[in-house]
């Protein structure tokens, strides 16, 4: 397998964390997104939506969308429940992550880390951070009576939500009001074979 | 089963269309979203994220997020592939729908249909419509060599993308440049037991 990725991407980190925890080898390419490397004609053949992560399977098929890639890779492992309701609940939280969380937790981090001060997109921050706090409050309520998001064990739903939550401060969020979320972040970081977002995979080439 | 929904919602329509095509009976409640019916303390017990559609299963469990509900209901039916890659490809297009399509195809329709002219949110339309055209272009490229999104047959990936694409004009989109998308819309509308977005389910009570 070959993962097309960017080392600073939380969406890409989801895949790197899962593959590390599953002990699966893969090739890895770090694309320079600021230089447009995900929008070249060559890359658009891999993913017409021009986004990373994109995973090339051994048969040459390409799979896009971080949470769909997680679901594919976790099939048959302890990180994805086998019962129908458990799988649907994992998906519920992954769709929550992409629709109600990522634009309001990840995008502020992108603006602050990648755009120069004074850039027009800084004007988006107050509304995005407010919606991000709403998403964090939903997570806090859910985790106040649970150890993990689904089935009381560590699954890809946790990986999907951990990726940008654990670096939410980099976009201006304050996690101190969310005690249950912070305890859950610590439980995820304590999982076997955990790797950090900035950890370059061994097979790196870029 | 009991579907908490709103008749004008494309996300809710996904579930109504699938349940009609599967021939499955269900109870249905039409929430007045403009009056805040999805944000009441009672409803937040069903879905702490305060959104419809939310499906109450026979055992009292609630499932949220339209595409997760589709996946749950389609398990074991011809509308969801059984092979691992086919299922992941269905999910890829459903995550594309929620992240790259819905905010830019569905939200303009919401603004135009539900907010009075001159409302501050009309200022969002140009950027949202531009990103919506990018999503429609990705769909057009994919469908230019295919009949349906995955596995050359009608699946819940088609239902997920059909729901807001077929009413994209109501938000200001022009579908005339997307010939393959329009041909696909016609193929979906020709499926057995098709129902329209505005068709009130038989078990309606509101």
Residue of chain A whose Cα is closest to the Cα of B57: A85
Closest CA–CA distance from residue B143 to any residue of chain A (Å): 12
Each residue of B42-85: pLDDT tens digit?
999 999 999 999 999 999 999 999 999 999 999 999 999 999 99
H helices present in B75-124, as ranges: 84-96, 102-114
Q: Of A187, A13, A157, whose CA–CA distance to A91 is shortest?
A: A157
* Bridge partners, A55 (sequence order): A3, A63
Residues in A touching B88 (Cβ below 8 Å): 63, 68-69, 71-72
* Bridge partners, B62 (sequence order): B56
Q: Would you say the C-alpha torsion B71, B80, B153, B2 has a positive or negative sign?
A: negative
Task: Kindly state the DSSP code that residue A77 receives in the 8-state scheme.
Answer: S
**A48 to B138: CB separation less than 8 angstroms, yes or no:** yes
Of B61, B71, B102, the CB nearest to A91: B71
Q: Helix, strand or coil for residue A205? A: strand
Q: Are strands A2-5 and A54-56 parallel, antiparallel or unpaired?
A: antiparallel
B2-77 CATH pick, 3.40.30.10, 2.10.70.10, 3.30.390.50, 3.20.20.80: 3.40.30.10
Residues in B touching A68 (Cβ below 8 Å): 88-89, 91-92, 94-95
Instruction: ipTM value, please give it.
Output: 0.97
What does the alpha-carbon distance between residue B87 and residue B84 come to, in Å, rounded to a whole number? Answer: 5
Residue of chain A whose Cα is closest to the Cα of B70: A88
Q: Are strands B204-205 and B27-30 parallel, antiparallel or unpaired?
A: parallel
Q: Are strands A204-205 and A27-30 parallel, antiparallel or unpaired?
A: parallel
Residues in A touching B71 (Cβ below 8 Å): 87-88, 91
**B96 to A71: CB separation less than 8 angstroms, yes or no:** no
- pLDDT value, residue B204: 58
**A91 to B88: CB separation less than 8 angstroms, yes or no:** no
- pLDDT tens, chain A, 206 aa long: 999 999 999 999 999 999 999 999 999 999 999 899 999 999 999 999 999 999 999 999 999 999 999 999 999 999 999 999 999 999 999 999 999 999 999 999 999 999 999 999 999 999 999 999 999 999 999 999 999 999 999 999 999 999 999 999 999 999 999 999 999 999 999 999 999 999 999 765 55
**A91 to B100: CB separation less than 8 angstroms, yes or no:** no
Strand (E) or helix (H) holding A4: strand A2-5
What does the alpha-carbon distance between residue A14 and residue B86 come to, in Å, rounded to a whole number? Answer: 21
Q: Where are the domains of chain B?
A: 2-77, 84-189
Residue A29 in tokens: 């390419």
What does the alpha-carbon distance between residue B197 and residue A150 come to, in Å, rounded to a whole number? Answer: 32
- pLDDT value, residue A8: 96
Residues in A touching B98 (Cβ below 8 Å): 95, 98-99
Task: Give the residue-averaged pLDDT of B8-34.
Answer: 96
Residues in B touching A100 (Cβ below 8 Å): 49
Q: Is the pLDDT of residue B184 over 70?
A: yes
Task: Kindly state the DSSP code that residue A28 receives in the 8-state scheme.
Answer: E
> Which residue is associated with the tokens 């658009």?
A44
Distance between first and last Cα of chain B: 16
Residue from B39, B97, B98 to probe the interface with A (highest A Cβ count within 10 Å): B98
Residue from A54, A65, A73 to probe the interface with B (highest B Cβ count within 10 Å): A65
- pLDDT value, residue B202: 76
Instruction: Please provide the size of chain B in residues.
Output: 206
- pLDDT value, residue A202: 77
- pLDDT value, residue A186: 98
Task: Give the residue-averaged pLDDT of B143-166.
Answer: 98
Fold (topology level) of A84-189: Glutathione S-transferase Yfyf (Class Pi); Chain A, domain 2 (1.20.1050)
Residues in A touching B67 (Cβ below 8 Å): 91, 95
Its CATH class, for the domain covering A2-78+194-205, is alpha beta
Residue A63 dihedral angles phi and psi, to the nearest 5°? -125, 130
What does the alpha-carbon distance between residue B104 and residue A160 come to, in Å, rounded to a whole number? Answer: 23
């Amino acid at each position: 397998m070959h993962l097309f990725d960017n080392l600073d991407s939380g969406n890409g980190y989801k895949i790197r964390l899962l593959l590390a925890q599953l002990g699966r080898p893969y090739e890895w390419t770090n694309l320079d997104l600021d230089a447009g490397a995900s929008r070249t004609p060559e890359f658009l053949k891999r993913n017409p939506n021009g986004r990373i992560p994109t995973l090339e399977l051994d048969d040459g098929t390409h799979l896009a969308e971080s949470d769909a890639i997680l679901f594919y890779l976790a099939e048959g492992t302890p990180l994805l429940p086998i019962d129908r309701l458990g799988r649907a609940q994992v998906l519920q939280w992954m769709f929550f992550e992409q629709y109600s969380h990522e634009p309001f937790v990840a995008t502020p981090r992108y603006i602050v880390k990648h755009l120069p001060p004074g850039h027009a997109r800084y004007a988006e921050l107050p509304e995005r951070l407010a919606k991000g706090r709403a998403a964090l409050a939903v997570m806090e309520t859910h985790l106040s009576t649970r150890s993990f998001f689904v089935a009381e064990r560590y699954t890809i739903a946790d990986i999907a939500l951990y990726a940008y939550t654990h670096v939410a401060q980099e976009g201006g969020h304050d996690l101190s009001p969310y005690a249950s979320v912070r305890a859950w972040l610590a439980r995820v970081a304590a999982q076997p074979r955990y790797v950090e977002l900035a950890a370059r995979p061994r097979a790196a080439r870029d």
